[in-house]
Amino acid sequence: MELLKKKIVEEGRVLPGDILKVDNFLNHQVDVRFMEAVGAEFARRFEGVEVNKILTIETSGIAVASIVSKYFGYCPVVFAKKMDSLNLDKEIYCSEAFSFTKNRNYRIMVSKRYLSADDKVLIIDDFLANGKAVLALKDVVEQSGAELEGVGIVIEKGFMPGGQELRKSGVQVESLAVVKAMDDEGNIEFE
Protein backbone atom coordinates (compact mmCIF):
# COMPACT_ATOMS: atom_id res chain seq x y z
CA MET A 1 0.00 0.00 0.00
CA GLU A 2 1.90 3.00 -1.33
CA LEU A 3 0.19 5.58 0.89
CA LEU A 4 1.17 3.58 3.97
CA LYS A 5 4.81 3.28 2.91
CA LYS A 6 4.88 7.02 2.31
CA LYS A 7 3.41 7.64 5.75
CA ILE A 8 5.93 5.33 7.40
CA VAL A 9 8.82 7.11 5.69
CA GLU A 10 7.49 10.59 6.44
CA GLU A 11 6.10 10.09 9.94
CA GLY A 12 7.84 7.01 11.31
CA ARG A 13 11.01 7.05 13.38
CA VAL A 14 13.56 4.28 13.69
CA LEU A 15 14.86 3.78 17.22
CA PRO A 16 17.77 1.61 18.34
CA GLY A 17 16.84 -2.06 18.72
CA ASP A 18 14.87 -2.36 15.47
CA ILE A 19 12.00 -0.35 16.84
CA LEU A 20 9.86 1.42 14.26
CA LYS A 21 7.78 4.08 15.96
CA VAL A 22 4.61 5.03 14.14
CA ASP A 23 2.98 6.62 17.14
CA ASN A 24 1.84 9.49 14.99
CA PHE A 25 -0.87 7.54 13.17
CA LEU A 26 -1.09 4.02 14.57
CA ASN A 27 0.15 3.29 18.10
CA HIS A 28 -0.56 6.29 20.29
CA GLN A 29 -2.27 8.82 18.06
CA VAL A 30 -4.61 7.24 15.49
CA ASP A 31 -5.26 8.76 12.06
CA VAL A 32 -8.81 7.49 11.69
CA ARG A 33 -9.37 8.59 8.10
CA PHE A 34 -6.17 6.82 7.11
CA MET A 35 -7.27 3.71 9.00
CA GLU A 36 -10.39 3.67 6.82
CA ALA A 37 -8.13 3.47 3.78
CA VAL A 38 -6.35 0.60 5.54
CA GLY A 39 -9.73 -1.09 6.03
CA ALA A 40 -10.62 -0.70 2.36
CA GLU A 41 -7.28 -2.20 1.37
CA PHE A 42 -7.78 -5.21 3.65
CA ALA A 43 -11.24 -5.67 2.11
CA ARG A 44 -9.64 -5.70 -1.35
CA ARG A 45 -6.97 -8.20 -0.33
CA PHE A 46 -9.43 -10.53 1.35
CA GLU A 47 -12.12 -10.20 -1.32
CA GLY A 48 -14.23 -13.35 -1.49
CA VAL A 49 -13.09 -14.51 1.93
CA GLU A 50 -16.01 -15.03 4.28
CA VAL A 51 -15.43 -13.34 7.64
CA ASN A 52 -17.90 -12.97 10.48
CA LYS A 53 -15.54 -11.96 13.28
CA ILE A 54 -12.42 -9.89 13.63
CA LEU A 55 -10.01 -10.90 16.35
CA THR A 56 -7.26 -8.62 17.62
CA ILE A 57 -5.25 -8.05 20.76
CA GLU A 58 -4.98 -5.11 23.07
CA THR A 59 -3.75 -2.44 22.86
CA SER A 60 -2.69 -1.11 19.48
CA GLY A 61 -4.71 -3.61 17.47
CA ILE A 62 -8.02 -2.34 18.81
CA ALA A 63 -8.19 0.95 16.91
CA VAL A 64 -7.29 -0.67 13.58
CA ALA A 65 -9.68 -3.59 14.04
CA SER A 66 -12.56 -1.34 15.14
CA ILE A 67 -12.22 0.87 12.08
CA VAL A 68 -11.65 -2.07 9.69
CA SER A 69 -14.82 -3.89 10.80
CA LYS A 70 -17.18 -1.88 8.61
CA TYR A 71 -15.31 -3.11 5.52
CA PHE A 72 -16.21 -6.64 6.60
CA GLY A 73 -19.94 -6.13 7.02
CA TYR A 74 -19.64 -4.52 10.46
CA CYS A 75 -18.76 -7.87 11.96
CA PRO A 76 -18.05 -7.89 15.70
CA VAL A 77 -14.52 -7.17 16.87
CA VAL A 78 -13.17 -9.26 19.74
CA PHE A 79 -10.01 -8.13 21.43
CA ALA A 80 -7.91 -10.60 23.37
CA LYS A 81 -6.93 -9.29 26.78
CA LYS A 82 -3.39 -9.31 27.97
CA MET A 83 -3.66 -9.83 31.70
CA ASP A 84 -5.92 -10.97 34.47
CA SER A 85 -8.76 -8.67 35.29
CA LEU A 86 -10.98 -9.16 38.32
CA ASN A 87 -14.11 -9.09 36.19
CA LEU A 88 -13.10 -11.34 33.33
CA ASP A 89 -15.03 -14.57 32.82
CA LYS A 90 -13.57 -17.77 34.15
CA GLU A 91 -14.59 -19.47 30.94
CA ILE A 92 -11.74 -18.42 28.71
CA TYR A 93 -9.39 -19.56 25.98
CA CYS A 94 -5.85 -18.82 27.06
CA SER A 95 -2.49 -18.73 25.31
CA GLU A 96 0.96 -17.24 25.82
CA ALA A 97 2.94 -14.76 23.75
CA PHE A 98 6.17 -12.78 23.94
CA SER A 99 6.33 -9.03 23.57
CA PHE A 100 9.16 -7.69 21.45
CA THR A 101 8.82 -4.12 22.70
CA LYS A 102 8.38 -5.07 26.35
CA ASN A 103 10.80 -7.99 26.28
CA ARG A 104 8.67 -10.36 28.34
CA ASN A 105 6.10 -13.14 28.12
CA TYR A 106 2.45 -12.43 28.74
CA ARG A 107 -0.80 -14.37 28.72
CA ILE A 108 -3.69 -13.57 26.43
CA MET A 109 -7.31 -14.48 27.03
CA VAL A 110 -10.55 -14.55 25.06
CA SER A 111 -13.88 -15.36 26.66
CA LYS A 112 -15.52 -18.51 25.30
CA ARG A 113 -18.68 -16.46 24.90
CA TYR A 114 -17.20 -14.57 21.98
CA LEU A 115 -15.48 -17.21 19.89
CA SER A 116 -16.92 -20.54 18.79
CA ALA A 117 -16.81 -23.22 16.11
CA ASP A 118 -19.29 -21.20 14.01
CA ASP A 119 -16.88 -18.31 13.55
CA LYS A 120 -14.87 -17.40 10.47
CA VAL A 121 -12.12 -15.27 11.88
CA LEU A 122 -9.89 -12.58 10.43
CA ILE A 123 -7.02 -11.66 12.74
CA ILE A 124 -6.03 -7.99 12.50
CA ASP A 125 -3.00 -6.45 14.17
CA ASP A 126 -0.86 -3.35 13.81
CA PHE A 127 2.54 -5.05 13.67
CA LEU A 128 3.94 -8.47 12.79
CA ALA A 129 7.51 -9.06 13.94
CA ASN A 130 8.38 -12.25 15.79
CA GLY A 131 4.76 -13.32 15.26
CA LYS A 132 4.20 -14.43 18.83
CA ALA A 133 1.06 -12.33 19.37
CA VAL A 134 -0.57 -13.57 16.16
CA LEU A 135 0.45 -17.16 16.89
CA ALA A 136 -1.19 -16.87 20.30
CA LEU A 137 -4.36 -15.52 18.63
CA LYS A 138 -4.21 -18.38 16.12
CA ASP A 139 -3.91 -20.83 19.02
CA VAL A 140 -7.01 -19.29 20.61
CA VAL A 141 -8.92 -19.59 17.31
CA GLU A 142 -7.93 -23.26 17.06
CA GLN A 143 -8.98 -23.93 20.65
CA SER A 144 -12.41 -22.53 19.85
CA GLY A 145 -12.85 -24.68 16.76
CA ALA A 146 -13.38 -21.56 14.61
CA GLU A 147 -11.94 -21.20 11.11
CA LEU A 148 -8.97 -18.87 10.73
CA GLU A 149 -9.63 -17.19 7.36
CA GLY A 150 -6.63 -14.89 7.29
CA VAL A 151 -4.33 -12.46 9.03
CA GLY A 152 -4.26 -8.76 8.13
CA ILE A 153 -1.26 -6.76 9.32
CA VAL A 154 -0.58 -3.06 8.89
CA ILE A 155 3.23 -3.23 9.11
CA GLU A 156 5.31 -6.40 8.90
CA LYS A 157 8.96 -6.50 9.81
CA GLY A 158 10.01 -8.77 6.97
CA PHE A 159 13.45 -9.31 8.49
CA MET A 160 11.86 -11.03 11.48
CA PRO A 161 10.50 -14.59 11.34
CA GLY A 162 6.80 -14.14 12.20
CA GLY A 163 5.43 -13.67 8.69
CA GLN A 164 7.32 -16.61 7.22
CA GLU A 165 6.28 -18.93 10.04
CA LEU A 166 2.62 -17.99 9.65
CA ARG A 167 2.62 -18.33 5.86
CA LYS A 168 4.34 -21.72 6.13
CA SER A 169 1.45 -22.91 8.29
CA GLY A 170 -0.87 -22.20 5.35
CA VAL A 171 -2.49 -18.99 6.60
CA GLN A 172 -3.20 -16.14 4.17
CA VAL A 173 -1.19 -13.26 5.62
CA GLU A 174 -1.67 -9.82 4.07
CA SER A 175 0.73 -7.15 5.28
CA LEU A 176 0.09 -3.70 3.85
CA ALA A 177 3.75 -2.68 4.21
CA VAL A 178 6.66 -5.08 4.63
CA VAL A 179 9.84 -3.51 5.95
CA LYS A 180 12.84 -5.34 4.52
CA ALA A 181 15.50 -3.39 6.35
CA MET A 182 15.93 -0.30 8.46
CA ASP A 183 18.87 1.34 10.19
CA ASP A 184 19.56 3.77 12.98
CA GLU A 185 19.95 6.61 10.48
CA GLY A 186 16.23 6.29 9.85
CA ASN A 187 16.49 4.65 6.42
CA ILE A 188 13.62 2.28 5.78
CA GLU A 189 13.56 -0.16 2.87
CA PHE A 190 10.42 -2.01 1.81
CA GLU A 191 9.97 -5.31 0.03
Interface residue list for a copy of itself (CB under 8 A) = 15, 19, 21, 23-24, 28-33, 35-36, 58-59, 62-63, 65-67, 69-70, 74-79, 81, 85-89, 101-103, 110-111, 113-114
| Nearer CB in complex with a copy of itself: 21/165 | 21
Q: Compute the least distance from the CB of residue 87 to a copy of itself, in Å.
A: 5
- In angstroms, the CA 177 to CA 190 distance is 7
Terminal C-alpha separation, the chain: 11
Q: Compute the least distance from the CB of residue 71 to a copy of itself, in Å.
A: 10
Longest distance between any two alpha carbons in the chain, whole Å: 48
Q: Which amino acid is at 136?
A: A
Of all helices (H) and strands (E), which one includes residue 67? Answer: helix 60-68
Cis peptide preceding 59, ω within 30 of 0: yes
Q: Compute the least distance from the CB of residue 149 to a copy of itself, in Å.
A: 18
| Nearer CB in complex with a copy of itself: 28/167 | 28
- In angstroms, the CA 88 to CA 62 distance is 18
Q: Compute the least distance from the CB of residue 67 to a copy of itself, in Å.
A: 6
